[in-house]
Structure 1
């Protein structure tokens, strides 16, 4: 069995965006295509309520890290080193499970 290929990348993550996502800037308005205030869930619509909560509260907490692999291949991330604005480097390991 051949040894798997390894690579180290230095990238800048970008924010994941979707239609109707709340704008993170306080003085900007959303485009209005998706109106979370117009959704009327029933008392038993727990999934719909959770989706609204997630979309309004945690929408800007997701980032996309560009990493391209060939079609049909399997990739495993052993960890990510994150450098914050203060220059501190933090290693986040065991990202792919056991």
Structure 2
């Protein structure tokens, strides 16, 4: 092969290696984004749970696509299953009333 063809082949190989490295970097960054988003979601859930929001019941209602139960939980009413946990609004209101 001519020197020019060999040079172009080497350039193509280098470019392909760069592309592969960029794809790996992008994949790693997307995974990191997913991890950070999940950490934020968990933090929010923990915060809501600490405020007395029935997080497990809300997640279960979302998972089972039970809109009625979800709306009752979000509204702060006792869900049909009777979890006994009030809404965050009710918890804060009670805390303010109790001093």
TM-score range, shorter chain: under 0.3
The TM-score, its normalising length taken from structure 2, stands at 0.20
Q: Which structure would you say has the larger Rg?
A: 2
TM-score (norm 1): 0.20
